[in-house]
Copies of this chain bind each other. A is one copy, B any other.
Amino acid sequence: MMTTYTKAAGAPLTERQEARRRRILRATTRLAAQGGYDAVQMREVAELSEVALGTLYRYFPSKVHLLVATMYDQLEQLGGQLRRKPNKGLPPRDRVVDTLLRAFRGMQREPHLTEAMMRALQFADRSVSAEVDGVSRITTEMILDAIHEDLSVEPSTEELAVIRVITHTWHSSLISWLNGRASIAQVRLDIETVARLIPDEEPAAAAARAAAEDTRGE
């Protein structure tokens, strides 16, 4: 769970292949951080990672796949960092806001990289579903971790819906900020606003209530 776990384990990848894959992701991150989405040019990525263009396409079947995979990779690292600061003591809602704002601050440090990954994520079509779902899953886990101090509780349908809405808001308002259509303050306000959907009871009580609701709902 904490070590590199390959997304779908389609092929076991030899050591050299794993190294190639990492070189590609590193090159992508570098180019994206410098010039954003447009600067990630497949020929450049291939050259920088010392891999033939055809090989690049064998590993990542499109530019969007490549950037979504990069996002997944970055999120795994970020996730580790965020988990290290448990921000206990706050009510769940504030913990979520705190987590998202901290992530946001991280992204402000690499706006081009963020832009490249977010544009790809939003532009992705069905052919990238699997990869996008991966990103979605890891994001959900991150928010879930922030809500529950106890990590073992099973999230309710209701809770998952709230988390989806939070994620939607998070992505869209990030895009607005990147495009200069929203200020940092506005992003923060939007996050605080959507976080109101999280009940402010004790996590345990909330879980219990949600579970009860789960039984009747559907």
Contact residues of A between 166 and 198, Cβ < 8 Å to B:
167-169, 171-173, 175, 179-181, 186, 189-190, 193-194, 196-197
Q: How many residues of A contact B (CB 8 A)?
A: 34
Nearest 10 interchain pairs by C-beta: A168-B172, A122-B122, A168-B169, A161-B193, A123-B123, A165-B194, A126-B179, A126-B180, A165-B169, A165-B193
Cβ of A213 within 8 Å of any chain B Cβ, yes or no, is: no
Nearest chain B residue, comparing its CB with the CB of A179: B126
Cβ of A21 within 8 Å of any chain B Cβ, yes or no, is: no
Contact with B along A50-73 (1 / 0, CB 8 A): 000000000000000000000000
Among A115, A175, A186, residue most surrounded by chain B Cβ atoms (within 10 Å): A175
Interchain CA distance A168-B126 in the complex, whole Å: 20
Partner of A175 from B122, B133, B173, B197 at Cβ < 8 Å: B122
**A residues near B, CB below 8 A?**
37, 115, 119, 122-126, 128-129, 132-133, 136, 161-162, 164-165, 167-169, 171-173, 175, 179-181, 186, 189-190, 193-194, 196-197
Interchain CA distance A37-B175 in the complex, whole Å: 20
Q: Chain B contacts of A129 at CB under 8 A?
A: 179-181
A189 touches B172 (CB 8 A): no
A163, chain B: closest CB distance, angstroms:
10
Nearest chain B residue, comparing its CB with the CB of A121: B122
A132 touches B179 (CB 8 A): yes
Q: Chain B contacts of A119 at CB under 8 A?
A: 123, 125
Interchain CA distance A5-B161 in the complex, whole Å: 39
Q: Chain B contacts of A164 at CB under 8 A?
A: 173, 186, 190, 193
A201, chain B: closest CB distance, angstroms:
15
